[in-house]
Amino acid sequence: MGGSPTLNPAASPAERTRALTAHAFGLGFDAVGVAALGVPETWDAYAAWLEAGRHASMQYLEGDGARLRHDSRLPHPGATHAIVVAASYGGREPSGPVARYARGDDYHEVLRERLRELHRWLETSLGRAVNARPYVDSSPILERDLAQRAGLGWFGKNTMLITPSAGSFLFVASLFVELELEASAPFEADRCGTCTRCLDACPTGALPAPRQLDASRCISYLTIEHREAIPVELRESFGGLLYGCDICNDVCPWNKRFARDAMLPAFAPRDLFADTSSNEGTRALAREILMMTAADYAEAFRGSAMKRAKLWMLQRNACVVLGNVGTADDLAVLEAMGEHEHPIVAEHAAWARHSITRDR
């Protein structure tokens, strides 16, 4: 990139860190810091969370997944430091049935490529190979712990990382490197104060206390990770939410003031979500998903993070949405879903039909 900072191969760790940080900001990241790898500060809290079963059915967080998370030096042998970055994904966009982070292209590969670019610059500047690997929300790492240690922000009462100048509508990613760098000062302050808006706003009670998340009640977990029926007693609380949930971020004063536009055009909402900020648009999206074939699904969500949920799961979620915000005009498609090959979808369609007709 034109005007990028240069790095003397003989630079000290502090000089390397300043040049790396400047180059990372030049790549468009909203926040950058460096953390030494090791045992996470939040390990005890994480272990207690697992012990309490608050991770619901996410068994990949246990066993070997937990063992690797216990020491961030384990996932990539030889690495000594993490260059931790944050990237805005569009917190100023209107709320809607799909969480903002999932409306654009899959952030995993988009951000990996940015980190690979940082890696290439580092090797070119030093004139030698550097053992490094990018991590973007797909490996056994307590990434928010690393981000706090790298000085990017603090843990909000909704468990999200909040960056003072950019809020919490952020992707967090890291480049693990085998290179001596100067670690950033950890972010020690808690700037939530007495505010409890995120806890008060959660419609399912998934935040029973500050910085405690019960995944089994979280709309994001239930619409994305959960492979069973959505608990009947929680369905009405979903409202028009089809994939993920931004409520605890939406109400945060730090986002109301500091949320930014998306860092990259790739994070902009796809056409499928262009008109979903109203109930009418939400209903239209839900019906479209219910009518999708496997081929339609593959085409619509190619290169999208939403493929984390299988088609039948999105159709299950769409039934709940129509049960909450649908009208008599949606009964026909729900009637057709009553014959769905997946019994969970058929049951949710029946629930939605009953919900609509009950309210007429």
How far apart CA 124 and CA 5 sit, in angstroms, is 12
pLDDT band at 360; cut points 50, 70, 90: low
Mean pLDDT for the stretch of residues 131-137: 97
The 10s digit of each residue's pLDDT in 136-163 is: 998 999 999 999 999 999 999 999 999 9
Is 190 one of the annotated active-site residues of the chain?
no
The last residue of one of the domains, among 122, 147, 177, is 177
pLDDT of 117 higher than 90: yes
In this structure, is residue 259 part of a structural domain? no
Q: In this structure, is residue 154 part of a structural domain?
A: yes
Q: Is the pLDDT of residue 339 over 80?
A: yes
Q: Across-strand partners of 154?
A: 162
Mean model confidence pLDDT for the chain: 96
Q: What local confidence, expressed as pLDDT, does residue 277 receive? A: 87
What's the pLDDT at 280? 95
Position 132 in a domain: yes
CA distances from 44 to 66, 145, 153, 295 (A): 11, 12, 20, 45
For residue 133, give its domain range. Answer: 13-177
How far CA 221 is from CA of 36, 93, 103, 247, in Å, comes to 30, 22, 17, 14
Q: Is residue 354 part of a domain?
A: yes
- pLDDT at residue 124 tops 90: yes
In a domain, 182, yes or no: no
Mean pLDDT of 1-26: 83
pLDDT for position 61: 97
Boundary (domain end) residue, out of 177, 205, 225: 177
Global confidence as pTM: 0.95
Q: Is residue 242 part of a domain?
A: no
Residue 342 lies in a domain: yes
Same domain? 21 vs 129? yes
pLDDT of residue 1: 43
Task: Find the radius of gyration of the CA atoms of the chain.
Answer: 22
Catalytic residue selected from 71, 105, 106, 137? 137
**Structurally, how many domains does the chain consist of?**
2
Angle at 253 between CA 247 and CA 254, to 5 degrees: 100
Q: Specify if 294 maps to a domain.
A: yes
Residue 172 shares a structural domain with residue 53: yes
Tens digit of pLDDT for each residue in 191-225? 999 999 999 999 999 999 999 999 999 999 999 99
Q: What is the pLDDT of residue 8?
A: 79
Q: Percentage of residues in the chain with pLDDT exceeding 70? A: 98
Report which of residues 359 and 327 the model is more confident about: 327
Q: Band of the pLDDT at 2, cuts 50, 70, 90? A: very low
Say yes or no to pLDDT of 177 above 60.
yes
Instruction: List the strands of the sheet with 170-177, edge to edge.
Output: 31-36, 81-88, 170-177, 132-135
Q: Residue 133 is which amino acid?
A: R
Residues 64 and 172 in one domain: yes
Domain limit, last residue, from 177, 192, 211: 177
